[in-house]
Amino acid sequence: MSLASPPNPKRVTTRTIQEMKDADIPIACLTAYDFLMARTLDNVGIDIILVGDSVSNVFQGNNTTLPVTLEEMIYHTKAVSNIVDRAMVVTDLPFMSYQVTVEEAFRNAGKIMKETRSGGVKVEGGKRVAKVVEKISGEGIPTMGHVGLLPQSILKYGGYQPRGRTEEEAQEIIEDAIALEEAGAFAVVIEKVPADLGKRITEALTIPTIGIGAGPDCSGQILVTHDMLGLYEDFQPRFVRKYATLNDEISKAVSQYIEDIKNRSFPNESESY
């Protein structure tokens, strides 16, 4: 792997992302749904901020991504993209905003682009959504694909088991990823597949792959920020590396605050006027 330093552009674009893949520079991606988190991620140099429909789970408290609406995705994208200077912001098209017709998908992707400062959209699925990707990206909207485990289809599969474990299913996922590239996607997220399949897909594509539980050979990696910071502890897949235990930190801080109020040690003299 190359140790060349990143291009450090003023703004990360589809071109930067492609240049990073071509130069074998790993692409670092995380999710954000609000300005404070987005600003922190941007300040420390994250390349892509995904306003993911995982907002449904980790912000709204739903047990799937299905309930979040287009209007809510727009609301969160505005909060994120208004503060971000460098990272590329990508917004998930939520369930039912792109599946009915290609025209409706384009209208909804266009609405995100007109009403927010998002840099692109993401859709789940492969061959099934190739026409949608072709239309949206053909009209100039950077479009990211998503193959492997598809959270919007979770009820059909009945769970979050890894995908692509049989050669037949692996082959199907590779074909899906190729269909997305041919349709004009600028990158493809690969979720929860065996590491060797992540590698095979990455080798089969010229556009970057972004892995989440897809092994070390993808062009970049993404995690849900609330998972890697230990804020959302309801769901802990093995691919999440925990970089902090913020839920514990917050619980400790708030418990101390409550105690300080109860024992009348807060506020003290220097905290009063």
Report if residue 189 touches ligand KIV, rule: CB under 6 A: yes
* Residue matched to tokens 């990211």: 144
Residue nearest to ligand KIV (CB): 52
**Is 191 a known active-site residue?**
yes
Q: How far apart are CA 9 and CA 129, in angstroms?
A: 32
* Residue matched to tokens 């009209």: 139
Are 132 and 98 in contact by the 8 Å Cβ rule? The answer is: yes
Report if residue 118 touches ligand KIV, rule: CB under 6 A: no
* Backbone torsions φ then ψ of 220, nearest 5 degrees: -155, 180
Helices 195-204 and 167-183, packing angle to 10 deg: 30
**Number of residues binding to ligand KIV, judged by CB under 6 A:** 10
Residue with smaller CB distance to ligand KIV, 187 or 189:
189
Phi/psi zone of residue 219: left (φ > 0), alpha (ψ -120 to 50 degrees), beta?
alpha
Token duo for residue 5: 């330093």
Q: Catalytic residue among 124, 134, 181, 191, which?
A: 191
**Amino acid in position 224:** V
Report if residue 181 touches ligand KIV, rule: CB under 6 A: no
Minimum Å gap between C-beta 44 and ligand KIV is 19
Q: How far apart are CA 148 and CA 168, in angstroms?
A: 13
Helix (H, G, I), strand (E, B) or coil at 236: coil
Q: Which of 80, 170, 178, 212 is the binder for ligand KIV (CB under 6 A)?
A: 212
Name the segment binding ligand KIV (CB under 6 A); options: 51-59, 74-82, 112-120, 175-183: 51-59
Report if residue 52 touches ligand KIV, rule: CB under 6 A: yes
Q: Which of 53, 134, 176, 181 is the binder for ligand KIV (CB under 6 A)?
A: 53
Q: How far apart are CA 150 and CA 125, in angstroms?
A: 7
Residue with smaller CB distance to ligand KIV, 152 or 167:
152
Name the segment binding ligand KIV (CB under 6 A); options: 46-54, 70-78, 168-176, 258-266: 46-54
Name the segment binding ligand KIV (CB under 6 A); options: 48-56, 69-77, 152-160, 246-254: 48-56
Report if residue 92 touches ligand KIV, rule: CB under 6 A: yes
CA distances to 98, 115, 135, 172, 173 from 106, rounded to whole Å, are 8, 14, 7, 26, 24
Token duo for residue 254: 């708030």
Minimum Å gap between C-beta 271 and ligand KIV is 39
Annotated catalytic residues are 191
Residues engaged in binding ligand KIV (CB under 6 A): 31, 50, 52-54, 92, 189, 212, 222, 224
